[in-house]
Amino acid sequence: MEYIKRAIYGPDPQEKLRKCNQLLRKNQRQLDRHLQNLNGLETKTKSLIKASAKRGDASSARILARELYNVRKQKSRLHKSKAQLQSVGMQVNETFAVRKIQGSMKSSAGIMKDVNSLVRLPELTGTMQELSMELIKAGVIDEMVSDTLDNLDEEDAVEDAEADAEVDAILTEITGGKLGQVGKVPDNIPQEEEAEEEEDQAGLEDMRERLKALQS
């Protein structure tokens, strides 16, 4: 009997809601994993910056500080996306609750805007698309639009213009002012052995590869 009802009327609304919530939790776990990896990458990069400053290698320290700036910027975006995802979850449950009372489902422009933003997040490729399809089938959102984030590149340009100041602030924060804003290093910072420099350079390359992997 249940099979016949499903064939005629489609999945039960509560079943649709359970599926949507399951996919919301899946995307939440994806974001949490990426944030955890970025936290580890941030800690490693700080250590490399300190080692470069101690060795008097201002050039490497500045490159690392720029990479740390990128890590922190990515973390900020993921935290924003996490808040958006939580908002989507609350709105989805509210929409199904209203449907239960009124007997009809209305698509939500607010949910669609957040979902469209999250679908374009590289860290959620695939899992978020799966959720959007379920929301479309449930009638919570209409077909996705593509122009929600047209101003993203413009925002990035503004952020990049401020990057140098942020890099200076990171160097001051981590080295305690040992490295100046223009990358000069006091003569009294001790030089370490060549082996340590090679190890630090290897750490820099490893950190870059890990960041690329997280961003892809």
The CA distance from 214 to 207, in Å, is 11
Whether 193 shows a pLDDT value over 50: the answer reads: no
**Contact by Cβ (8 Å): 215, 71:** no
In three-state secondary structure terms, 161 is helix
Give the tokens for residue 52.
């470069």
- pLDDT tens-digit profile of 69-95? 999 999 999 999 999 999 999 999 988
**CB within 8 A of 58, min separation 6: which ones?**
52, 179, 183, 184, 185
- pLDDT at position 105: 64
Judge contact between 136 and 143, C-beta under 8 A.
yes
pLDDT at 8: 41
> pLDDT value at position 201?
61
**With contact defined as beta carbons under 8 Å apart, do 160 and 45 qualify?**
no
What is the pLDDT at residue 155?
Answer: 52
Tens of pLDDT along 146-191? 444 444 444 555 566 678 888 989 999 998 877 654 444 444 444 4
Q: If we measure between CA atoms, which residue out of 174, 193, 163 comes closest to residue 53?
A: 174
Nearest 5°: the CA angle 155, 157, 162 is 100
What's the pLDDT tens digit per position in 36-49? 999 999 999 999 99
